[in-house]
Amino acid sequence: MRLKLVPTETAWDFFRFTKVAIFGSSLAMIASILLFFVVGLNFGIDFRGGTTIRTEAHSEVDVAAYRGALQGLDLGDITITEVFDPSFEADQHVAMINVQAQEGQEAVTPETIAAIEAELQQVDPSITFPSVESVGPTVSGELVRTAIIAVALAITAVLIYIWLRFEWQFSLGAVAALVHDVTLTIGIFSLLQIRFDLAIIAALLTIVGYSLNDTVVVFDRVRENLRKYKKRPLGEVLNLSINETLSRTVMTSVTTLIALISLFVLGGDVIRGFVFAMIWGVIVGTYSSVFVASVVLLRLGVTRDWSKSDNGAGPGPGGGTQFSNVDA
């Protein structure tokens, strides 16, 4: 007996609530942009410059005591965060201390780090320092620029690929879905103030690939059905195509989420931000493939002359671009 997350054959009308979907997605994107500019992201040391010290102790973390001990060092902005993880032992208490880069220095000096450790050991003699990471402001600025360029180039490459693979209407639909996914991911990180570092940029690029994969599967079926049902309205063809690929879409998303949720619960705090971004990306990526990319394609319309040439070797005139029959 096979497991079926959705019926083998479905006939759901995904465009019944098109206006609601467009309104909801637009509102979510506007809210995400406002959160980014008003609240901002909780940038990690990778992007701000400075030093992150990880502490472990047998007694509970007293954030106020830690902060009071470090006040006399005049280090500027210090962020102290207690880390919770189900995999920790009962007497394992972890904190992350972020110290901003000092004026005129590329990173916090070893002498300053030693002073921080000495002050904290007076608060709790059992405290240890498993890791210390430092990034200078010059390097962090370069990382910010590189991260923005990486995401922009990924989306541009998708635009060109889909344009060559299908038509420009498909391309704009796919890119709209990717921009939607990236914007909402940045918005949720701004709202929850989860640390935003290089690992999250890697997650964003992975989300771009995952969302594109879902979208291309739907678009491939759309193109096949446009050739098969030449007289049907575009909305009906899109609905049919989404229903035909729905089982595959849901199964892929659910199995991916099972692995990601396991990593989120058991993987530890080091990769938790990355995994959270991936979980969120899978959810919004699946949604956008149906309710953003397809809706944009429906609004733009598409060439309906998908007839084969006389010899059946490929699409005839007007049947898409010269690359539309390339398997990739």
Q: In this model, does residue 115 exceed pLDDT 50?
A: yes
What would you measure as the largest C-alpha separation in the chain, in angstroms? Answer: 85
Query: pLDDT class for 243, splitting at 50, 70, 90?
Result: confident
- Looking at residue 319, its pLDDT comes to 44
What are 121's two structure tokens?
Answer: 């050991």
Residue 60 gets which letter from DSSP? P
Cβ-based neighbour number of residue 8 at 10 Å? 7
SS3 256: helix
Q: What are phi and psi of 45, to 5 degrees?
A: -60, -30
When the pLDDT of each residue in the chain is averaged and rounded to a whole number, the result is: 79
Which tens digit of pLDDT belongs to each residue from 198-219? 788 888 888 888 888 888 888 8
Nearest alpha carbon to residue 117 among 127, 109, 108, 107: 127
Domains in the chain, CATH or no CATH each: 18-42+140-300 (1.20.1640.10), 50-135 (3.30.70.2040)
Give 211's contacts (C-beta < 8 A, 6+ positions apart): 177, 178, 181, 281, 284, 285, 288, 289
pLDDT over 70, % of the chain: 82
Query: pLDDT class for 313, splitting at 50, 70, 90?
Result: very low
pTM over 0.85: no
Q: In this model, does residue 157 exceed pLDDT 90?
A: no
Query: pLDDT class for 162, splitting at 50, 70, 90?
Result: confident
Alpha helix (H) ranges present in 41-136? 45-48, 63-71, 110-123
Q: Which of 72-76, 130-134, 167-171 has the weakest average pLDDT?
A: 72-76
Partner residues linked to 132 by β-bridges: 53
13-34 mean pLDDT: 88
- Cα gap 107→91, rounded to integer Å: 32
- Cα gap 176→186, rounded to integer Å: 15
Query: pLDDT class for 267, splitting at 50, 70, 90?
Result: confident
- Looking at residue 38, its pLDDT comes to 92
- Looking at residue 103, its pLDDT comes to 60
Query: pLDDT class for 185, splitting at 50, 70, 90?
Result: very high
Q: In this model, does residue 146 exceed pLDDT 70?
A: yes
SS3 84: coil
Which tens digit of pLDDT belongs to each residue from 93-107? 888 888 876 665 656
What are 132's two structure tokens?
Answer: 């210390």
Q: Which of 91-100, 149-158, 303-312 has the weakest average pLDDT?
A: 303-312
